[in-house]
Amino acid sequence: MRQRPGLLAFLGVFVLGLCVKPSFPQATATQAQLNGAVRDQSGGAVANSSITLREVDTNSIYTATSNADGLYTFAIVPPGKYELTAEARGFGKYTQTGIVLSRSSSPQ
């Protein structure tokens, strides 16, 4: 019987492929989230405030704008030390330092 080297090589690779355990990419989730609200002295919402989040160690800047209820979100930022600044027309500038964000946990 005549052997077919191409067919044998294919079958060898095919059988080897059956023995390999499939793997899926694993990613380490290294992200944090910051939610907040901008309020005036009486507790009323301040809409359309410019919010700046600055990572102290890298000087990376993230920006957001508060919605009609004064709410803002920085959904995906790296964990780290931050400084937050809020500015709105008719109000003074507000800065908060010493914000530390850590990795958020998510179900897997």
36-58 as b/e, with b when 16 or more CB fall inside 10 Å?
Answer: bebeeeeeeebeebbbebbbeee
Q: Are 99 and 86 in contact (CB under 8 A)?
A: no
* Residue 61 located in a structural domain: yes
Tell me, rounded to whole angstroms, the distance of Cα 38 from its chain centroid: 22
Instruction: Give the domain range for residue 75.
Output: 32-101
Tens digit of each residue's pLDDT (9 = 90 or more) over 2-31: 554 443 333 333 333 334 444 445 455 589
Report how far residue 30's alpha carbon sits from residue 1's, in angstroms, rounded to the nearest whole number: 60
User: How many structural domains compose the chain?
Assistant: 1
Q: What is the pTM of this model?
A: 0.68
Tens digit of each residue's pLDDT (9 = 90 or more) over 34-73: 999 999 999 999 999 999 999 999 999 999 999 999 999 9
Q: Domain containing 61 — which CATH number?
A: 2.60.40.10
* Residue 74 located in a structural domain: yes
